[in-house]
Structure 1
Amino acid sequence: MSIPRRWIPNQHGAWAMLAVPYLAGVLTGSPTWIQLPLFVAWLLGYCAVFHAEQRVRLRRASRNPRAAARHTRPALVLGTATAALGLVLLVAEPWLGVAAALMAPFLAVNVHYARRNRERALVNGLVAVVPACGMLLVALRLGGGTVAQGLAPAAACLLYFAGTVPYVKTMIRERRSAAYRKGSVAYHAVALVAAALLNPWLAVPFAVYLARAAVLPGRGLRVPVVGAVEVGCSLLLLGFLVGVYG
């Protein structure tokens, strides 16, 4: 299936959150063929949900009915493709249905915020992080690992990606908010301690994250630069997770 370019969500920060926990699960276990269709279904599902949420949001927020309508077709096509691939995966690994069910409440919260046109709310961003990091456990188990084996690296992912939510706000939408900046730094200081308790080596990347949360806000960095820094931070996390837990 060829996906039109306009169907691909422009939420650039989401792609690292979708990919890094999944890759950490694959690379800390034993890679297997079924992880590939899982990743395709994961990305298709994200795109489908994005368009569904935009349709829900714009039906209430926009006076132009075409604004919401343009998301209908991609939501249906991508959702159908996700369901079809998901059915194949369920036949091969029925327990994936349990994983999907566990993610559903978080999706419901995201839809609720979209309906209220509050997608940028701090809580909504934090809620979205949880199932993304949970994908590490799914990918790892498909590769022969156990949930217990994946708890520590999944927790490290959660600590990092939860921190990106307030941090990115201090760089863009809340760049003039001293309260957000202090809150972001405080969170990253706590995350550094928590990561070190998971494994002392994880203190290295989390010290970098704390430094960037303390130093970069207020420097007027352009959005592409902010994004590039986060890509680098995400790859740093992936490297340490594979090195420590692989």
Structure 2
Amino acid sequence: MSGGRGAARSRWLPNQHGAWAMLAVPFLAGTFLGRPRWAHLPLLATWLLGYLAVYHGQQWLRLRVNSRNPNAPGRHVRPALCCGAGAALCGLPLAVAYPWLLLAAACAAPFLAVNTRYAYRNRERALLNGLAAVVPACGMLLVALRLGGGSWGAGVAPAVACLLYFGGTVPYVKTMIRERNSRAYYRGSVAYHVLALILAACLDPWLALPFTAYALRAAALPGRGLRVGVVGAVEVLASLALLGTVPAGF
């Protein structure tokens, strides 16, 4: 029975563990930077369900175009429809109460279009595709902060801090797994992290602490043959460090 439940869960929840940190950390940081409200709960539900609906919709498109198995796309139809309906159920009352949320959603549309295009071309692992996904996720810090009574301007610096970290995870994770033998990726990842450290320290001196650790892990861990689970655990700790530092620093 447990195996059946696990298989069913795997059909609904994508096997992209890093994505959950990227979805949660900026949102929670924005919530704590402002005043947490009950409205943050349906907003979080809308955000997560919307992500799942988009994910399954893009997988349906990718398999519809690229798979030789005619039955493969079908397994994503029900999750896409159910999650989309759940997102609409949670999100529509919010949109009525806070119409500016519609503008925020429109700002995410170009990045969603990029991700959909890469899914259509079966190139979801492309570097640009990963970077495009990071931007709206980090933009949710601004949305959560604004919903909590904060100003857009107050959220720019912490959102950039999140963008610097999660943007760096895209090339770094590639150096640990798919591009672990590429010296070009390694050099690019290390160079990015050094630059991110400098920029983060300019935003707030306290950010130098976690971003120094991020730069060190980008330089020291590739090539050590770490298992995927270990790589994921390190990133969980790195994300928690960011979540603890951003609200305290701003």
TM-score interval (norm. to shorter): over 0.9
| Aligned match of 1:203 | 208
Pick from 176, 182, 186: which aligns with 2:181? Answer: 176
Shift of residue 61 of structure 1? 1.5
Q: What's the secondary structure of 2:71's corresponding residue?
A: helix
Shift of residue 190 of structure 1? 0.4
> What is the TM-score of this pair, normalised by structure 2?
0.95
Q: Does 1:69 align with 2:74?
A: yes
Distance 1:195 1:219 in 2: 27
- Deviations 1:83-138, CA, capped at 9 Å, x for gaps: 22211110111110000000111101100000000000000000000000000000
| Aligned match of 1:117 | 122
Shift of residue 72 of structure 1? 1.0
- Deviations 1:23-49, CA, capped at 9 Å, x for gaps: 000111111110110001100011111
| Aligned match of 1:90 | 95
Q: What's the secondary structure of 1:53's corresponding residue?
A: helix
Q: What's the secondary structure of 2:14's corresponding residue?
A: coil
Q: Which runs of 5+ in 2 are unaligned?
A: 1-7
Equivalent position amino acid for 1:39 in 2: L
2:37–2:148 Cα contact (<8 Å) kept:
yes
Distance 1:230 1:49 in 2: 24
| Aligned match of 1:135 | 140
Distance 2:66 2:227 in 1: 28
Distance 2:193 2:110 in 1: 27
Pick from 227, 234, 240: which aligns with 2:232? Answer: 227
* Alignment RMSD: 1.0
Shift of residue 4 of structure 1? 5.0
| Aligned match of 1:104 | 109
- Deviations 1:215-235, CA, capped at 9 Å, x for gaps: 000000000000000000000
Q: Which runs of 5+ in 1 are unaligned?
A: none
| Aligned match of 2:63 | 58
Counting only pairs closer than 5 Å after superposition, residues 39-50 of structure 1 correspond to structure 2 as 39-50=44-55
Pick from 214, 218, 226: which aligns with 1:213? Answer: 218
Q: Does 1:14 align with 2:19?
A: yes
Shift of residue 5 of structure 1? 5.2
Distance 1:30 1:75 in 2: 32
Distance 1:18 1:105 in 2: 18
> What is the TM-score of this pair, normalised by structure 1?
0.97
Q: Between Structure 1 and Structure 2, how many residues are aligned?
A: 243
| Aligned match of 2:162 | 157
Pick from 117, 135, 144: which aligns with 2:149? Answer: 144
- Deviations 1:33-85, CA, capped at 9 Å, x for gaps: 10110001100011111100101111121110111111111111111211222
Shift of residue 147 of structure 1? 0.6
Q: What's the secondary structure of 2:36's corresponding residue?
A: coil
2:11–2:75 Cα contact (<8 Å) kept:
no
Q: Does 1:24 align with 2:29?
A: yes
Q: Deviation above 6 Å: which 4+ runs of structure 1?
A: none
| Aligned match of 2:3 | none
Return 142-151 or 73-82, whichever deviates more: 73-82
